[in-house]
Every structure is written in structure tokens, then in C-alpha cells.
Chain A
Amino acid sequence: MIIFSKLDAATYPFISLASQLVKELEESLGISAILSPESEVLRRSIERIREAVYSRITSTYKKDLDVEILSHPVALLLMKHMSNARLINVYAEAEKNRVLVNLLKEDHEKLVGLAVDGFNWHVKREKNYLLIRFDDYLRTSVNILDSRWKLVNRKLVNGYVELSRKDFSRLLAEAYRTRILERANQAMDVQVLSALKAIIEELDREFQGFLPKINTSVTYIDEYEPSALPPCILKLLEDAEQGKNLPHMARFTLATFLISIGKGPEELLDVFRKMPDFDESKTLYHLRHIAGEIGSRTRYTPPSCATLRTFNLCVADDDICQRVKHPLTYYNKKLKLLKREGLERRT
């Protein structure tokens, strides 16, 4: 059993001691004092968000641990009132980076203690490795893109996944990142006074230039650029062109993807025309259904990379594939890349 210190609570906001201290400090200091414009906590909270935005990693402020412990929930509160949806992602990522740096310095025993206390993981130590029960592993590992983190590429024995200290730390940091995103909406909900409102608005404007808004609806790109198509879709198009009999999932992927990037159902008829079982009216009906023009009126989104892999429709991994979870994200990235290259060539 590990006894955590106040410094631990400041460094690792996910442990129970941290939430306990937050509660105690809130009670003894009072919310209004914590959120007053002159408050040291408020200053540190803003600084923490700025660190995340400008250096993509936060720091651990050790001069006043009470302030540091409170600054995390207050930072979440501030961000909840800001308009940029990307901010919380950037903050969570920066916090993950900070925590990871610290975790890498901890010994096995401490890592186990943090994982058990913070996330209720079932963990065992064996020689130089750490063993984590596979369900705890999966809940977090599915958020990491690298194929090295797929369960199939891990040593799994008797229900436990074997991890090096480094990988264990990475998984723990990732679990923390996920928790920030999950809890972002449950952040302290208090009346924000007008003085604070002004501060928040100013910060909001400050970050606008640094964090361009992401296109949250990847579904509607409405720009057809063949050279930006991901390899899986290209392969399907090729197969369709050759008149191969594509399985249902392949057809669904092709249709939803092309509709998502602005093709209309009628235009798509030609794509499926060479299928051995092509029936114009039936195909059009399905396409219009997928496009949300008829039926349930929901526009279907193409399957994710994970689903495509499971159905053996994933064909390659070029550089972009390594970085995305969804074929539409690939398309978006490639499109931007092409535009940038085009721009460079012209200038």
C-alpha cells in the first residue's frame, strides 16, 4: 500500500487524494475567493491552459501545492465556458504529456499504486514487467492508434497483458487524458461572475488564432479530389470498375464515403454499374437511403479504419494512414496537404 503525498496529488490529479484535497480546499477557501480576479489559483489555472496551448505540455507548479491542486479543476471550469471545442483536447493532451514525463521517473511499485488508486486497474508485478488485466488494458488501449497497441500484438497470458514500465506509463497517461475528456463536462458548475466572464472572453479571443477550429463534421466535405482518396477507397473503386462482385460491407463503405465527400446518389450509379447484380432502380434506392434522402433521413457515415480492418477492407498503411482512425480524416488531411503543396509550387 502506497501513501501518497501532497506533491503526488499535485502531479497526478487522477488519484483519490487529489480529489479529496480539492474538496477540502474548496470548503476552507470558498469558491468566490478561489475564482476572484486576484486569486493565485485563477492565475495558475490560466497559466496552465496557456502552457497547454503554446507549448503542448503543462508544467507542475511546486511553489504552492494547494494552488497547483486547485488549478486543474479551475482550468476545466474556465474551458467549459470557452467556445473553442479543440481547447479541451489540447489541454488533455498537454496534461497527458506532463504526467507521462513524471510517470517515467517512477518505480514499479509507485506505478502500480497510481494505477490501482486512480483507475482501479487490476495490476500485478512480475520481474521487470507489469501485468494488467486485459479488460482494463482494452478500455484505454483502443484510444491509441499505433498497431503495436492492438491486443493481438501484445503478450496476453491468463487474462493479463504484459507491459514494460515505459508502456505501462504510457497507458496510464492515456487513461488520464481520456478521463479529462470524459469529465470535461462535469467540471465544477458554479455561477461565473461578470469579472471572470470578461477574463474568459479575452482568453477565448487569444486562443482563436492559435487553435483554428477543426471541421467537426468530417462528414460534409463536399469537395471531390480523386488524388486525396485513401488507399482502401481507391482499391474498392478499382474493384468496382473491374466489375468484381463486392461484399455488402465494401459497397456500403464505398457508397457512404463518396456520398460524404459530396457525390450525389445519381452520380454514384456509375460506380456500381459494372457489378454483376447491378439493378439501377434498386441501387439508386439504396444510395438515396444511405444519403438520407429517403427512409430514416439519417445520412450514414462511412465505417472507421478499425471496422475496415476487421472486415479485411483495409489495404495499406501509408504515412497518413498511421495517423488517422477514419478514412474521412485521411481524405481531409491529404486534401490539405495537396493544397499546401499546390500553393508552394505556385509561389
Chain B
Amino acid sequence: MKEELNNEGFIKKMFKKYYAEWRGEPPKDFKRREFAFMVSRRGDMVRHKAFEDWGEVKEFLYKNSPLHVYYSSAYYAQPSAPDMDAKEWMGADLVFDIDIDHIYTQCKEQHDKWTCLDCSVTGNGVPPEACPRCSSKKIEVKTWFCEKCLEIAKEEAIKLVEDFLVQDFGFSSHEISIVFSGRRGFHIHVESDVIRGLDQRARREIVDYVRGTGLVVQDRKRKILAAPLNAGGWPGRIAKGVYELLNSRSARILSDLKGGSKVEEAIKVIIKELEEARDYWPLEGVARKIWLKAVEEVIAHKRCEVDERVTTDIKRLIRLPETLHGGTGLRAAKVSLRDLETFDPYVHAVAFVKGEVKVKILSMPKITFLNQTWGPYSYEVVEVPMGLAVYLICSENAIVISEEVRGA
């Protein structure tokens, strides 16, 4: 009996339930993809799997109820070959990763905690690479995904899809899918023949474009030309951004500039020029200084924070949409662009919506789950909805004490 009550056993049982009725859609050309699975917490990754029939995938998921399910963004001639070279790369989707782990948010100071496993020093916010006291690298991190984090991740995803992928790169919306990562962000997949064959260097250019890396604001002779408002790409994005910024009188940059009326005058000139210009026009003197300051802020605001390593890696494994994340028990749910704004992972990505169960919660900040507020808790036995129980057990914030489920 006691063995039945371990956390992993509980998770596996629940995951099996989920995969019994799983209806995930196959990615494009799934027969050409490598699949990989984490079957247990301590075990190795099962790699180099390939499937000829989507039914086999469903069967595999049900039989093994893995904690994590991945597939390759790449297409291979021999997806099951154990050696990467023998797989024969044929192309890859374009994938972007927006992950709060890699984006600075102020709220992390409140809900993220790290602990050095060697000397027990703890701290809030972004974990250091090594413990400041004992230099150990064994640092345990407890992170949470709060509403503010979610807002920021959504904002980045919308920017990426609308401003960059659709407007600039010209992908159509049916080529783009937005998928909740299962934890703290979104994966954006682009399946299109246009990008399939692009190599790493070309993909790096795409990432640099989206992140605004390497943008040249002034040429080698330090000359600056402003684009007209209706220009495309970054030149137009910058012109529009500066226009908006200078028009919103609250602009912080304005107070940094000394020169009083001269600055005011120059700002008016820039705004007027931007409104009237039909072609590129040069910036000089005070206007030039203001422009440079403003552009810096505009780029920081308009650029998109994606993890460059994911996009430039042409042989990446990525979570299979609609499978469960073993660290949260949440679904890697596909979200349409239209629904993204109102998407709430603690409602829409919850896989287990029925029943309640008692768990011992080790620690948890206040969170809203299934539209109800829970916590904060610390070493308490609480009866919570099954979805929240799975979430807390998967993230090692709670332990199973009873398998008695109410109302399932």
C-alpha cells in the first residue's frame, strides 16, 4: 500500500488517465520527426523514436504515460537513426521560445526563491550562477508563474506573431502555432516551406532581427537618416516608435536632456518632420541627440525577447503540443492568436478539472487556480482541486497523503 502513495506513482497514474483519451494532432510530416520521452524522473531520456502511424504515438503515450514528450523541429530521412549524422537532416521548422526564465520581470523578486543545496543560503528573484557564499553551483530554484509574468509572456508572443512573423516575414496565420510551454512561457512554431531549408546562419539572422540585435542606427560616418512613418521593417518601426514616444509627453528621456526650450523646439521639429516626410531625412544637432536617446528606448520596447539558442538550433527537441509537462502537470495547450489575450494557463491548460484531493503542501504563494484563489500555504494539509494537486505534486511543492478523490 505504501508504495502506491508515492508522488511519482500518483503522477503516472493521473498522466495515464489523461493519455487514455488524448486527442493531440500530429505535427506536419510526423513520420520524418524524431520523438523523445522522459518516462521517469530519474531515468534517461528515451530518444530516436519514430512512428509510421499516429495511432502508435497515442498507444505509446498511454502505455508509458511519460512525464515529458518531445519531437524534433527537424525533418529527417532516418528519424530513428541513433547517430545524428545518420539521421540525414532534411530541414526544420522555425521555432521560437518565449520563456520567463530568460526574461527579467520585477515580480520574480516576490515569487521566485533559490536555495544553495550545499550551504543553505537562500535568496529571492533570479538565481545566481553560483552561490555567493560557498560558490557551489548546486542551486535549487522554486519559480512561479504569476499574472504579471503571464502578461509579459503574452505581450512578447503577440509582438512576435503580429509585428514580426506576420507583418515583416509575411507568414500566414495558418503556418504559425502558438503553444503554451507548460510552465512559464510560449513556444511559437512556424511550419512553412519558405524556412524549412534555412541553415543556422540564416536562422541567426532571423533571431537577430526579432531581437533587434545589430541594428545600425547611424552609419559609419555617424550620419543618421530617419525613415518615413509608413516605411516597413525596423526603419519604420523605429520612426513610428519615436513618434509615439515624443508625442507622449511623459517620455522619461526628455527629462534626461538638458537644454530646455531648445530641446522642446527640436522635439516639435522631429514630430513635424515625421508627420510630413515621404522619404528618408537627415537628423542633426540637438534633434540628432534626442533621436538617439529615443531610438534606444524604442528598440528596447519593440524588440522581442526570444531565446536565441532555440531558434538557431536546427536539430532541437521541443515539447509536443497538447502533451503534459511533467514539472507542472499542465497541458502544452495550443492557443489561437485570438484567444491568447484571455488565455489563463491555470484555467485553460489544466488537464484535470474534476475532483478534489487532500495533499500536504510544503510551500506555495497565493495563486489563482481554476478561477479560485488558494494559499499562501506552508506545511499544511489542504483539500484542493485535482488540477492544483497535480500541479503542486509535479512541481515538488506538495506530497500525496491520500488517494481518496472526492467528486470525480
Contact = CB atoms under 8 A, between A and B. Distances in A.
B208 A138 contact: no
A151 B137 contact: no
A276 B131 CA distance: 8
Contact of A152 (B131, B209, B219, B236): B209
Contacts of A278: 135
A306 interface: yes
A310 B308 contact: yes
A152 B170 contact: no
Interface in A287-327: 306-307, 309-312
Interface string A264-297: 0000000000001111000000000000000000
Contacts of A141: 205
A159 B208 contact: no
A197 interface: no
Given A147-B216, A150-B216, A157-B168, 17 more contacts: A134-B169, A150-B214, A151-B205, A153-B214, A155-B232, A156-B168, A156-B169, A157-B167, A158-B170, A159-B168, A159-B170, A160-B170, A162-B232, A245-B128, A310-B208, A310-B308, A310-B312
B277 interface: no
Contact of B132 (A139, A276, A312): A276
A145 interface: no
A109 interface: no
Contacts of A312: 213
A276 B209 contact: no
A153 B216 contact: yes
A270 to B, nearest CB: 17
Given A155-B232, A156-B168, A142 B201 contact: yes
Given A153-B234, A156-B232, A310-B213, A135 B167 contact: no
What DSSP secondary structure best describes chain A's contact surface? mixed
A43 interface: no
Nearest to A162: B232
Contacts of B312: 310
Contacts of B21: none
Contacts of B168: 156-159
Given A135-B194, A245-B130, A278-B135, A309 B213 contact: yes
Given A151-B208, A152-B234, A310-B213, A138 B308 contact: no
B90 interface: no
Contact of A306 (B167, B201, B231): B201
A154 interface: yes
Closest 9 CB pairs of A and B: A159-B170, A277-B130, A157-B232, A138-B202, A158-B170, A155-B233, A156-B233, A277-B135, A142-B201
A197 B215 CA distance: 52
A142 B169 CA distance: 17
B205 A155 contact: no
12 contacts: A138-B201, A147-B214, A150-B214, A152-B205, A157-B167, A160-B170, A245-B128, A245-B130, A276-B130, A277-B129, A277-B131, A277-B136
Interface of B: 128-132, 135-137, 167-171, 194-195, 197-198, 201-202, 204-209, 212-216, 219, 231-236, 308, 312
A155 B231 contact: yes
A127 interface: no
A301 B214 CA distance: 23
Contacts of A134: 169-170, 194
Contact of B204 (A139, A153, A157, A310): A310
Contacts of B136: 277
Contact of B215 (A153, A155, A158): A153
Nearest to A154: B233
A283 to B, nearest CB: 12
A151 B206 contact: yes
B2 to A, nearest CB: 40
A182 to B, nearest CB: 13
A293 B206 CA distance: 36
Contacts of B194: 133-135, 159
Interface string A122-150: 00000000000111001101100001101
Q: Which of A139, A151, A153 has the most CB of B within 10 A?
A: A151
A156 B231 contact: no
Nearest to A153: B216
A157 B233 contact: yes
B233 A150 contact: no
A247 interface: yes
A277 B213 contact: no
